[in-house]
Amino acid sequence: MTQPESSDQYRRLRVALLGAGAVGSQVADLLLRHGDELADRAGASLELAGIAVRDVDAPRDVELPKELFTTDAESLIVGSDIVIELMGGIEPARGNLLLALNSGADVVTANKALLATHGTELFEAADQVGASVYYEAAAAGAIPIIRPLRDSLAGDRVVRIMGIVNGTTNYILDRMDSEGADFADVLADAQRLGYAEADPTADVEGHDAAQKAAILASLAFHTTVPLDAVHCEGITGITASMIDEARAAGFVIKLLAVCERITVDGAESISVRVYPALVARSHPLASVHGANNAVFVEAEAAGSLMFYGAGAGGVQTASAVLGDVVSAARRHIAGGVGVGESTRANLPIVPIGHVITRYQITLEVNDQPGVLATIAGILSEGGVSVATVVQTVEGEDDTTARLVIGTHRAAEQALSDTVENLAASEVVERVVSVLRVEGE
Amino acid sequence: MTQPESSDQYRRLRVALLGAGAVGSQVADLLLRHGDELADRAGASLELAGIAVRDVDAPRDVELPKELFTTDAESLIVGSDIVIELMGGIEPARGNLLLALNSGADVVTANKALLATHGTELFEAADQVGASVYYEAAAAGAIPIIRPLRDSLAGDRVVRIMGIVNGTTNYILDRMDSEGADFADVLADAQRLGYAEADPTADVEGHDAAQKAAILASLAFHTTVPLDAVHCEGITGITASMIDEARAAGFVIKLLAVCERITVDGAESISVRVYPALVARSHPLASVHGANNAVFVEAEAAGSLMFYGAGAGGVQTASAVLGDVVSAARRHIAGGVGVGESTRANLPIVPIGHVITRYQITLEVNDQPGVLATIAGILSEGGVSVATVVQTVEGEDDTTARLVIGTHRAAEQALSDTVENLAASEVVERVVSVLRVEGE
C-alpha cells in the first residue's frame, strides 16, 4: 500500500510521522493514497515508515493501517530521511526534532509554539548538519506564506505585514460584526460548533496569533524575533457597542498580527504586535470573513500583496505539510546542504511604546459646557493631535455624552500617558475604549 | 559600488543581466543599491558583472554606471554564475539562455512568451547540466505564485486555477464596469495613461494571458501545456450593454485564465482557456480592481486560496526577479543539482468543446406569442437546460424583445451547436452575446 508500483523507479525515502491527530492522520492518509503522484513530484518514493503516538489504540479521524503505529518515537526517527512532527507542544517535540536533525533527517513541523520559542535552536542544529527545517503549516495553515516571504521576496524589503492569522477570533469578530452579538454569546456558539476550543485562551487572548507573528516577522525581517518581544492583546474586551461604533466610522475590528519596519532614533528597527485594530471597510483585509485567514504584505518594490485561504483545519494544514515533505524529498535527491534561515539583519525589536499609529478613543463624559475644551487641552498637552470628534448623547437624563475621538498619528507611549490623564480628569466618567487604526 | 564592504566574507557570484528596459534597469539598480542586504540573504556576494543591451547609449529609466553596459551578450554570459534574461521575445533570448545553461549558470527569466513556447527545451537543458530555471516574474508579475504552486502545493492536487493575469484588460473591464463606458473609449484612455500599449493586441486579444495560463497549468498539473493547446478569446467584443446586463444579473465580467482538471470519457484530463467570463460579484476575484492581478487556486486538500497583488510594473516585477536571483545564489552556495520541473503526470489536454460550465445567452427575438416556447424547444433539443430567463422589451415599436437566458451546466460543444440553431431560427433576430459563468 505504501509502495505503489510505478514509483519503483525512484529512490526510496523513509518518512517518519510523529503524531496522528487532526492533521497527522490526514497527512498519513494522503501519503498512503497519493503515493504515486507524490513520488512523481518529489522524484523519490515516500515510504511511510511508521507513526509515533502515545496510544496506539486511540481513535483517529481517518482509518490507518494498525501496523504503522508505534509508541517508540526514537527508534522510528533514527534511520529516517524525513521526520514530520505534528505532536504540538514543546516536549517531547523539541527533543524528537533535535534527534532527527542530528540523525541526518530533514524535518517538517507545523508546531508554531515550538518554533516561536525554540526556533533558533532548531535552525542552528539544522545548519550544523546541513539539513533543513520546513514549517509552511506553522504560520497561516494552508496559506503558502513561508516560501513567498523567504524566497520570492528575498530580493525585496518587506515594510509591513498585517495578518489575520487566527481563524477562531476572526470567526468570532465576523459574527459579532454581522449579527451585532456579544462576545460571550458568539464564543459559546463557536465552541458548540467546533470553531473554538473548550479552553479558548490561546486563541482569544492572542497567544496563537503572537506565535505566528514571531515566525512571520523573523522571516520577513531576517531577524530572530523571540515570542516575548511580541506585544499581545486579545479580543475578550471587544464589545458589541465597540463594533457598532467602528462600523459607524467606516471600520471593522480585526485581530491583527502587525510586523513593521520602523525607524526609532534614526535606527532601523522592527515592531511586532498582536491586537484588535480598526481596519477600513475598503481594505482587502476587511473582507476576510468567517474562520479564513489572510496575510497582507507591503514590500518596497513589490507593493501590496495579499495571501488568502483557510487558516486551519486538518486536511487544509495537511496540504501545507505534504508540500514541505515533497520539498524535503527533492532536496534529499538533489544533494547539497539545506538552506538555513537568514537572520543576519538582526534588527532591534522595539517595545510597543515606540509604535506610531492612529487611535480611536471613546470616552463617556459629563455633558456640560466646556468639556470638549478640557479634553482637547489634555490631548494637546500630551502631544496627541485630534483629527475627528463625534459626540453622541447617552442615557435618558442627558447628563453624560459619548465622545469618539479620532487622533492623528501619535506614538503609543504619548497616547497611553494621555489616556491616563484623560481617565484622571473629572470631566471624564469612563474611558470606554482605545483602539488602534491599521492599514491606512 | 557593486562590492559592499560587509559582503567580503561571502563567496562572490558573477551575475549577468541581459536587457535594461523597465524591469531590467530596476533590477540593476536594486542589485547595486541593496548589495549588502542581498548578500546577507543569499549567503553570497552578488557581483553585477555587466548588462548586455542592443544600444549602450539608449536612455534608461534609472541611471546606471556606464561601464557596466556591453553589446556583447555572449562574452558576458560565459563565466557567469547567474544569468538574468529580461530582453523579451524569442531570439536572441532563447539562444542566450541555452548558452548560459550550457556554461553552467542558473538562469532567471521573466520571459513568458519564451517559456510558453520553448519552456520544455529550457527545462531539459537545465536538467542535463543540473542547473535551474527560475521564472517567478513570468506568471503574475510581482505576485508569488510559482513557488506556492511548485512547492507549497506539491503534496496536494490542484483542481482549478482562475487567474486575472493581465493588468491591462482588468483595468479596461473595471473602468467599463464602474463608468458604463465603451471598450474603444476606455482603451484609448488606457493607452494615453500608459496602461495599454500603442499596439494592444497581445493584451486585449488574450495572448498575454494565454502564455501565463500555459505556464500556470504546466506547473499546477505537472504536465507540459503547449501554448497552442490554450483556447483563447479576448475582450474586444465586450460592450457596455453586456456589462450592464451582467451587473443586473449579479455578475462582473473578467478576463479569466482558467486551468481546470476535468474528467472526459472517464479519463483524467485538463482544460486550459482564456476568455471573458461572468464572475459573481460576491466572488473574491470580483473585487480585483484596476490593473491588479489575482490568482484563485482550488486544491483538493488546501481548499480555496487567493494570491493578490500588482501584476506588472518595472519595479514590482524586479522584486520577483531578485527573489529568483537570491534563490539561485543560495542553490549555488548549497551545492547539489537544480530541481527540474515535474511534468510526469502528463495529462491529456482537451479542446474547449469538452468544457462544462454555465452560460448566459442574450438574444434579440421577435416579440410575439410562442417565441419563448420555440426557443425553449431549441435549447431542450440541444441538451441545454434552462435555469433562468429574463425578458426585457427593446425599442419603441415593441416588435423585438431581449431575452437573457441562464443555462444549467452544459458542455461547450452542445452549447455552441445549440447557439447555431438559435441563430438560424426565424424567431431570433440576433445572438447578442454568449458568456460563460465561472467560479460557482
DSSP B13-80: EEEEEE--SHHHHHHHHHHHHTHHHHHHHHTSEEEEEEEE-S-TTS--SS---GGGEES-HHHHHTT-
| B 156-215 near A (Cβ less than 8 A) | 156-157
A98 in the same domain as A56: yes
Looking at the domain assignment, is residue A342 inside a domain? no
Q: Which residues of A touch B307 (CB under 8 A)?
A: 305-308
The backbone region for A132, taken as left when phi is positive above 0, alpha when psi lies in -120 to 50, beta otherwise, is: beta
Which of these is catalytic: A60, A212, A261, A402?
Answer: A212
What radius of gyration do chain B's Cα atoms show?
25
Which of B9, B84, B151, B287 to mutate to probe the A interface, most A CBs <10 Å? B151
What's the total number of domains in chain B?
3
The pLDDT score that the predictor gives to residue B308 is 95
pLDDT of residue A8: 64
What pLDDT, on the 0 to 100 scale, is given for residue B4?
A: 41
Work out the average pLDDT over A359-371: 91
Distance from CA of A217 to the nearest CA of B (A): 15
Assess if residue A209 is contained within a domain: yes
The arithmetic mean of pLDDT across residues A56-80, rounded, is: 94
Q: What are phi and psi of A59, to 5 degrees?
A: -70, 145
Is the model's pLDDT at A397 over the cut of 80? no
* DSSP assignment of B174-211: HHHHHH---HHHHHHHHHHHTSS-SS-HHHHTSHHHHH
Q: Residue A369 CA to chain centroid, in angstroms?
A: 46
Residue with cell 517559456: B115
**Out of B144, B316, B338, whose CB is closest to A152?**
B144
Domain's final residue, options A254, A277, A310: A310
CB distance B315–A308 less than 8 Å?
A: no
For residue A15, which of A45, A37, A43, A36 has the smallest C-alpha distance? A45
Shared domain for A255 and A151, answered yes or no, is: yes
Q: Are residues A113 and A211 in the same domain?
A: no
* Nearest residue in A to B342, CA atom: A41
Q: Chain B within 8 Å of A9 (Cβ-Cβ)?
A: no
Q: What is the pLDDT of residue B347?
A: 92
Kindly determine whether residue A319 and residue B299, on different chains, have CB atoms separated by under 8 Å.
Answer: yes
Touching check for A336 and chain B: CB below 8 Å? Answer: yes
Based on the fold, state whether residues A157 and A296 are members of the same structural domain.
yes
The pLDDT of residue B346: 86
Burial class (CB in 10 A: 0-12, 13-18, 19+), B440: exposed
Q: Which chain B residue is nearest to residue A137, measuring alpha carbons?
A: B152
Residue A377 cell numbers, joined? 487641552
Is B19 marked within a binding site? yes
Q: Of A151, A320, A331, which is closest to B327 when you measure between CB atoms?
A: A151
Indicate whether B213 belongs to any domain. Answer: yes
Nearest CB to B147; choose among A152, A302, A335 = A152
Q: Could you give the CA distance from residue B257 to residue B209 in angstroms, rounded to a whole number?
A: 6
The verdict on residue B136 lying in a domain is yes
Alpha-carbon distance values, B362 to A102, B239, B254, B423, B425 (Å): 67, 13, 18, 11, 14
- The closest of A237, A234, A236, A239 to A176, measured between CA atoms, is A239
Q: Do both B132 and B208 map to the same domain? A: no
Out of A42, A307, A324, closest to residue B307 by CB: A307
Q: Which pLDDT score is estimated for A312?
A: 76
A310 close contact with B: CB closer than 8 A: yes
Angle at A111 between CA A107 and CA A114, to 5 degrees: 95
Nearest to A334 among B299, B301, B339 (CB): B339
CA distance A350 to A377: 29
pLDDT value at residue A368: 84
Three-state DSSP class for residue B335:
coil
Tell me whether residue B192 is exposed, middle or buried, using C-beta atoms within 10 angstroms of its C-beta: 0 to 12, 13 to 18, 19 or more.
exposed
How many Å apart are CA B397 and CA B222, to the nearest integer? Answer: 58
| CB contact at 8 A, A45 and A13 | yes
- Could you tell me which residues are beta bridge partners of residue B303? B299
Q: Could you tell me the CATH number of the domain that includes residue B218?
A: 3.30.360.10
CB-CB neighbours of A348 under 10 Å: 12
- Containing A132, the helix (H) or strand (E) segment is none
Co-location of B192 and B302 in the same domain: yes
* Residue B91, domain member (yes or no): yes
Q: Would you call A301 and B316 a contact, using CB atoms and an 8 Å cutoff? A: yes
Please give the average per-residue pLDDT across A200-226, as a whole number: 95
pLDDT at A396: 60
Q: Which residue has the cell 473595471?
A: B174
Please give, rounded to a whole number of angstroms, the shortest distance from the CA of B337 to a CA of chain A: 5
Banded model confidence at residue A2, pLDDT cuts 50, 70, 90: very low
The ipTM is 0.88
A197 is in an annotated binding site: yes
In a domain, A349, yes or no: no
Is cis: bond before A144, omega within 30 of 0? no
- The CATH number given to whatever domain includes residue B100 is 3.40.50.720
The Cα A150–Cα B422 span in angstroms is 55
Note the Cα B149 to chain centre separation in Å. Answer: 14
Whether residue A42 is annotated as binding a ligand: the answer is no
Q: Which residues of B touch A146 (CB under 8 A)?
A: 152
- Residue B283: how many other CB atoms lie within 10 Å: 18
The set of cell numbers assigned to B305 is 486560496
pLDDT digits (tens, 9 = 90+) for A247-277: 999 999 999 999 999 999 899 999 999 999 9
* DSSP result, B149-171: IIIITTTS-EEEEEEE--HHHHH
Checking if the pLDDT of A302 tops 70, the result is: yes
**C-alpha distances in angstroms, A173 versus A235, A295, A436?**
8, 17, 16
Task: Judge whether B322 is closer than 8 Å to chain A, CB to CB.
Answer: yes
DSSP A259: E
Nearest CA in chain B to A308: B306
Window 95-134 of B: residues touching A by CB (8 A cutoff) are: none
User: Angle, to 10 degrees, between the axis of helix A35-42 and the axis of helix A22-33?
Assistant: 80
Q: H or E segment at A384?
A: none
pLDDT 10s per residue in chain B (440 long)? 333 445 467 899 999 999 999 999 999 999 999 999 899 888 899 999 999 999 999 999 899 999 999 999 999 999 999 999 999 999 999 999 999 999 999 999 999 999 999 999 999 999 999 899 999 999 888 899 999 998 899 899 999 999 999 999 999 999 999 999 999 999 999 999 988 999 999 999 999 999 999 999 999 999 999 999 999 999 999 999 999 999 999 999 999 999 999 999 899 999 999 999 999 998 999 989 999 999 999 999 999 999 999 877 889 999 999 999 999 998 888 777 666 677 777 899 999 999 999 999 999 998 888 899 999 999 999 999 999 998 876 656 678 889 999 999 999 999 999 999 999 999 999 999 999 999 98
Which of A278, A310, A342 is the endpoint of a domain? A310
d(CA A167, CA A174): 10
Contact A336, B319 (CB under 8 A): no
Confirm or reject contact between A154 and chain B (CB < 8 A). Answer: yes
> φ and ψ at A46, to 5 degrees?
-95, 105
For A138, the grid coordinates are 506553522
For residue B394, the model assigns a pLDDT of 66
Helix (H) or strand (E) holding A263: strand A251-264
Same domain, A396 and A330: no
Which of the residue ranges A306-315, A388-397, B222-231, B306-315 would you say has the lowest mean pLDDT? A388-397
C-beta separation of A262 from A354 below 8 A:
yes
Measured between alpha carbons, how far is A233 from A210 in angstroms, rounded to an integer? Answer: 9
pLDDT tens-digit profile of A139-189?
Answer: 888 899 999 998 899 899 999 999 999 999 999 999 999 999 999 999 999
Contacts of A75 (CB under 8 A, 6+ apart): none
Cis preceding-peptide flag for B226 (omega within 30 of 0) = no
Q: What is the DSSP string of A74-94?
A: HHHHTT-SEEEE---SSTTHH
Domain assignment of residue A16, yes or no:
yes
Q: How far apart are CA B383 and CA B366, in angstroms?
A: 23
Residue numbers in B near A151 (CB within 8 A): 144, 147, 323, 326-327
DSSP annotation string for B391-421: EEEESSSS-EEEEEEEE-SEEHHHHHHHHHH
CATH number at residue A378: 3.30.70.260
**B-proximal residues of A, 25-44, CB under 8 Å:** 26, 30, 34, 37-38, 40-43
Claim to verify: residue B155 and residue B304 sit in the same structural domain = yes
Model confidence at A344, in pLDDT bands (50, 70, 90)? Answer: confident
Amino acid at position A261, single letter: R
Which pLDDT band, with edges at 50, 70 and 90, does A339 fall under?
low
C-alpha cell at position B306: 487567493
> Quick count: other Cβ atoms within 10 Å of Cβ B396?
6
> Residue with C-alpha cell 494570491?
B307
Domain boundary among B334, B367, B385: B334
CB A242 within 8 A of CB A150: no
Chain position carrying cell 529550457: B122
Could you tell me if residue A348 is inside a domain?
no
Sign of CA dihedral A323, A324, A326, A331: positive
Residues of B in contact with A42 (CB under 8 A): 154
The catalytic residue positions of B are 212
A106 and A208 part of one domain? no
Residues B87 and B174 in one domain: no
Q: Which domain does B129 fall in, by range? A: 5-141+315-334
CA-based nearest distance B157→chain A, Å: 9
Q: Are B142 and A303 inside 8 Å of each other by CB?
A: yes
Contact B107, B82 (CB under 8 A): yes
Minimal Cα–Cα distance from A152 to chain B, Å? 4
What helix, strand, coil percent values describe chain B, rounded to 5?
Answer: 40, 30, 30
Residue B378 in grid coordinates: 431549441
Q: Which amino acid is at A292?
A: N
Residues B226 and B372 in one domain: no
Q: Are A306 and B309 in contact (CB < 8 Å)?
A: yes
What pLDDT does residue A404 have?
Answer: 92
- Whether residues A297 and A156 fall in one domain: yes
Is A346 within 8 Å of chain B by CB? no
Q: Which residues contact B202 (CB under 8 A, 6 or more apart)?
A: B208
Give the integer Cα–Cα distance in Å for B320 and A214.
Answer: 24
Within 10 Å of residue A126's Cβ, how many Cβ atoms?
26
Grid coordinates representing B327 are 534563490
- Inform me whether the C-beta atom of residue B334 falls under 8 Å from chain A C-beta atoms: yes
